[in-house]
Amino acid sequence: MLIWVAGSPRLQWPLGGDATRLLGSALALLLIGMVAMSSASVEYAAGQYDSPFFHLQRWGFHLAIALLVGALVYRTPMAFWQRTGWFWLLVGMALLLLVLIPGIGRVVNGSRRWLAAGPLTIQPSELMKMFAIIYLAGYLVRRHEEVRSRWSGFVKPMSVVFMVTLLLMLEPDFGATVVTAGTAFGLVFLAGVKLAQFLLVILSCGAAFGLLIVFEPYRMKRFTAFMDPWQDQYGSGYQLIQSLIAFGRGEWFGVGLGNSVQKLFYLPEAHTDFVFAIWAEEFGAIGALLVMALFALFVASILRIGRRAERSGNLFSAFVVYGAALLFSAQIFINIGVNVGLLPTKGLTLPFLSYGGSSLMLTLMLVALTLRVDKESAAGGERG
């Protein structure tokens, strides 16, 4: 929306430079995501639903809801989120408990992660990521000195994070557990926790995650497939091999939009977890680098907005924005890392590109929160 400046013939754009870059990169990624997801899903949708554009239509429905919710988030003052952080944490945990109840939570591929609400399917773990950030940001502001000086200030929020990750593991959702815990640790570190305490907990959690892999057969298979996918090329290593073939076929400039072979039922979850591989196959290394550059601009813009809020003295807003940047960075790194064989396979979406209503809703809500912080920082600067 443009604003007319009194006494001047010019129109003024109300957003600052960082917000403009954030919005521009988000819009570009959203458009790329629409193209990439539609192309990756067209054959699967035709075979499963007798409509090649089934997922595109559902994506449009999810986008409309996400834009509406995002608009509401943008219009909500940050003070409201700071006052009600504990409430949203309880809502998130209640939803995570609800999804575990047989007959209520939907089971797909052995995981119970979804709740049906009419035509909309909600994945509570996606919403929990945002709720956890808001709660932790409020806690770190209230208990800032305790977090920096005493063990209790560190243990209390980590206990809450542990309960959240326990509920996530019961679904199970290992990917959401990793990014939620990682974001929480990152925020606590930014709050100034003592390095010795931080490293001790990180090492303990690393050992715990290692045990979760060792004692769960399907996770162990994923790990061994990551180390040597050709050892079981038609079993646990199949997804990674097909993903690497997609990258190889793309070469520098790709095979062209719609011409992917790997999406023809060779690469499972082509429109969700492995949509980046299909994009790289159709648009090549140049297209893949373009997406990565847009993600870098997107995250950098969020960080600059967070830094501006911190400098203005609004620590809650700064922690929320830093949490959003950490969450996006983790999901981008893990998803692309899985696609290229840098990390073991996990069920984790790529923001903007992967198909998923809850993922799209979370992404736009966090973008709206960041833009709200930028707006309030600008208003505070004008008053100052």
Q: Is 191 in contact with 133 (CB distance < 8 Å)?
A: no
pTM of the full structure: 0.89
Q: What is the pLDDT of residue 380?
A: 66
- Is residue 353 scored above 60 in pLDDT? yes
Give residue-wise pLDDT tens across range 62-107. Answer: 999 999 999 999 999 999 999 999 999 999 999 999 998 888 888 7
Q: Kindly give, in sequence order, each residue whose CB lies less than 8 Å from that of residue 29, ignoring residues fewer than 6 positions away.
A: 291, 294, 295, 298, 351, 352, 353
Q: What is the pLDDT of residue 2?
A: 45
- Sort 43 into a burial class: Cβ within 10 Å, 0-12 / 13-18 / 19+: middle
- Sort 64 into a burial class: Cβ within 10 Å, 0-12 / 13-18 / 19+: exposed
Q: Kindly give, in sequence order, each residue whose CB lies less than 8 Å from that of residue 350, ignoring residues fewer than 6 positions away.
A: 273, 275, 276, 331, 332, 335, 336
Secondary element (H or E) of residue 253: none
DSSP line for 317-363: HHHHHHHHHHHHHHHHHHHHHHHHTSS-----PPTTTS--HHHHHHH
Q: What are phi and psi of 303, to 5 degrees?
A: -65, -40
Q: What is the pLDDT of residue 35?
A: 95
Give residue-wise pLDDT tens across range 103-131. Answer: 888 877 667 888 887 778 889 999 999 99
- Is residue 242 scored above 50 in pLDDT? yes
Q: What is the pLDDT of residue 153?
A: 77
Q: What are phi and psi of 332, to 5 degrees?
A: -65, -50
Q: Which two tokens stand for residue 320?
A: 């929320």
DSSP line for 1-64: --EEPTT-SSEE-SS-HHHHHHHHHHHHHHHHHHHHHHHHHHHHHHHHHS-TTHHHHHHHHHHH
Query: Does 145 or 252 have the greater pLDDT score?
Result: 252
- Tokens 């119970």 correspond to 112
Q: Is 168 in contact with 131 (CB distance < 8 Å)?
A: no
Q: What is the pLDDT of residue 1?
A: 40
Q: Which two tokens stand for residue 384?
A: 């100052």
Q: Is 257 helix (H, G, I), strand (E, B) or coil?
A: coil
Least confident span in 48-52, 250-254, 287-291: 48-52
- Is residue 249 scored above 70 in pLDDT? yes
Neighbours of 316 (CB within 10 A): 21
Neighbours of 293 (CB within 10 A): 11
Query: What gap in Å lies between CA 44 and CA 204, rounded to an integer?
Result: 42
Query: What gap in Å lies between CA 229 and CA 344, rounded to an integer?
Result: 10
Query: What gap in Å lies between CA 227 and CA 5, rounded to an integer?
Result: 60
111-117 and 11-12 as β-strands: parallel, antiparallel, unpaired?
unpaired
Average pLDDT on 197-213 reads 71
Average pLDDT on 7-21 reads 65
Q: Is 250 in contact with 284 (CB distance < 8 Å)?
A: yes
Q: Which of 142, 175, 182, 124 is nearest to 158 (CA)?
A: 182
Average pLDDT on 316-342 reads 94
Neighbours of 116 (CB within 10 A): 11
Q: Is 225 in contact with 237 (CB distance < 8 Å)?
A: yes
- Is residue 5 scored above 50 in pLDDT? no
Residue 133: pLDDT band (50, 70, 90) is very high
- Is residue 215 scored above 70 in pLDDT? no
In the chain, the DSSP E strands lie at 3-4, 11-12, 105-108, 111-117, 120-122
Query: Does 210 or 300 have the greater pLDDT score?
Result: 300
Q: Is 17 in contact with 378 (CB distance < 8 Å)?
A: no
State CA 156 to chain mean position distance: 25
Mean pLDDT of the chain: 86
Q: Which two tokens stand for residue 369?
A: 């929160």
> HSE of 379 in the Cβ direction (CA atoms, 13 Å)?
9
Q: What is the pLDDT of residue 15?
A: 61
State CA 381 to chain mean position distance: 30
